[in-house]
Homo-oligomer: A and B are copies of this chain.
Amino acid sequence: MAEEKLPTRAQDFSEWYNQLVLKAQLADYAPVRGCMIVRPYGWALWENIQGQLDRRFKATGHQNVAFPLLIPKSFIEKEKHHVEGFSPELAVVTIGGGEELAEPLILRPTSETIIGHMWSKWIQSYRDLPVLMNQWNSVVRWELRTKLFLRTLEFYWQEGHTAHATRQEAEDETLQMLGVYTDFAINEAAIPVIPGKKSDAEKFAGADITYSIEAMMGDGKALQAGTSHFLGQNFAQAFEVKYLDQTGVQQHCWTTSWGLSTRFIGAIIMVHGDDQGLVLPPRIAPYQVVIVPIFKNDEEKTGVLGVAKEIKAQLAKANIRVTLDERDGQSPGWKFNDWEMRGVPLRIELGPKDVAKQSAVLARRDRPGKEGKVFASLADLPATVEKLLAEIQDALLAKALTFRRSNTHNAQTYDELKKAVEGGFAYSGWCGNGSCEEKIKEETRATMRCIPLDQEAVLGPGGGSASGKCVYCGQPARNRAIFARAY
């Protein structure tokens, strides 16, 4: 797959992305328009993402469940904002077992409605609360413009759903899960996301408040990488999710939902990737290390492969995810390119001379050429590899943060905003008025991404002081917000 080169990111970022997803064998186009197949390498990456998130969900007391794919069409109509948001995107089953159905069924675009329906049966008393659930599944939204991982008719995600006795508890949960996403993104995926609050125009259909984590891609555009919604009592009222409180009074629950999807893989590709291909963060890479044996004849092959297998076993024993490329008929150079395309963080090159010296060459994916190569003794290889993987992880985060900060502009005027959103984020005062937001969107194609929770962290030390005025209308600013073109 690595024979043909990618276009460079500077030439055509979008086409670089499309080709990379295919060439790295992360995913492919399905025979149904807008659907994707996640191939083994892409799914292994998703499994590592799942593992890291699921661990965090369980540590915060959530339990996994499975609600069905099929939802009565009438359910979606019970919450007025929800129906407005999702009606245009529904896929509808009208025939089952050869017969027309009395009530059409929709494929879940998200599960608030069916979960609300069941909670109304399961939740009776304050003793039953809180209910903390999550499910790993796929959902279907009939999108018109699709792109692998970023927007597909069917996509994979987790959707968390919780019910609480009080507003405060539900608000705390919403922010806790935003924190879980932020921690995951930064510490596992090396993506320096900005957690913040969405505007009313951009919030989830049915939420009182939506929070998101926003990331900057390699072309300066924004990507919403996860969302956490405070749903107030909207769904609890629509589905009569009530409980008897300690004083014997019936109360509506307060609910939340939060999700992170395979879209996040798109973020990983576009944040860390370079012109040679993927660059995967070690902590979630399917393979952290690839061993490429180098030999010219059968005798050399025997010696090199024997040692390569020993190294593989040693690294695997140290819980390092390692593969040995034993493919016949391909040169080491071809293999180097192939694994660079696939973004394996560390390559071990092993030839007869290395074996003789009991050493190997370690080549870092994040630093091309000689600069990223070191000789390492085979004696303490697992420790050396672990140290290097940790360094690579840190370096990816630092690089992404530097990139984001240097492309985030403290835009005090509308002209500055217009210029900033050509290739990055504008961080600007905003009066909080939806009409200014709408105008900015119409005129610049930039949307209000979020109001960052930590206003100082966005620009970093020395990033300049806040403007007190709305970047559009000049009225006093209620907040500072990030404006950017987005995926």
Bound together, the chains give a CA A144 to CA B98 distance in angstroms of 12
* Residue pair B144, A66 in contact (C-beta under 8 Å): no
Kindly identify which residue among B28, B43, B66, B144 contacts A63, using a CB–CB cutoff of 8 Å: B43
Listed stretches A29-37, A249-257, A335-343, A387-395; interface member: A29-37
Q: Mark A80-111, 1 if CB is under 8 A from B, else 0.
A: 00000001111111111110000011010000
A236 within 8 A of B: no
* Residue pair A117, B31 in contact (C-beta under 8 Å): yes
* Residue pair B32, A72 in contact (C-beta under 8 Å): yes
Given contacts A95-B91, A114-B31, contact A154 B69 (CB under 8 A): yes
Bound together, the chains give a CA A32 to CA B90 distance in angstroms of 17
Point out the residues of chain B lying under 8 angstroms from A142, CB to CB.
Answer: 96-98
Report whether over half of chain A's contact residues are helix, strand or loop; otherwise say mixed.
mixed
Determine how close the nearest CB of chain B comes to the CB of A339; give it in whole angstroms.
17
* Residue pair B70, A153 in contact (C-beta under 8 Å): yes
* Residue pair B70, A44 in contact (C-beta under 8 Å): no
Kindly report which residue of chain B lies nearest to residue A37, judged by CB atoms.
Answer: B67
Kindly report which residue of chain B lies nearest to residue A68, judged by CB atoms.
Answer: B35
Point out the residues of chain B lying under 8 angstroms from A95, CB to CB.
Answer: 90-92, 94, 104
A47 within 8 A of B: yes
Determine how close the nearest CB of chain B comes to the CB of A158; give it in whole angstroms.
13
* Residue pair B43, A64 in contact (C-beta under 8 Å): yes
A71 within 8 A of B: yes
Bound together, the chains give a CA A117 to CA B29 distance in angstroms of 12
* Residue pair A93, B107 in contact (C-beta under 8 Å): yes
* Residue pair B88, A37 in contact (C-beta under 8 Å): no
* Residue pair A68, B32 in contact (C-beta under 8 Å): yes
A38 within 8 A of B: yes
A138 within 8 A of B: yes
Point out the residues of chain B lying under 8 angstroms from A327, CB to CB.
Answer: 127
* Residue pair A37, B97 in contact (C-beta under 8 Å): no
* Residue pair A93, B96 in contact (C-beta under 8 Å): no
24 sampled A-B residue pairs with Cβ under 8 A: A28-B122, A30-B114, A30-B118, A31-B117, A35-B68, A36-B68, A37-B65, A38-B65, A40-B63, A40-B65, A40-B133, A44-B63, A68-B154, A70-B91, A87-B98, A88-B97, A91-B95, A92-B96, A93-B107, A94-B94, A95-B104, A96-B142, A96-B153, A127-B329
Which residues of A are at the interface with B, using a C-beta cutoff of 8 A? Answer: 28, 30-32, 35-40, 43-44, 46-47, 63-72, 75, 87-98, 104-105, 107, 114, 117-118, 121-122, 127, 133, 137-138, 140, 142, 144, 153-154, 156, 327, 329
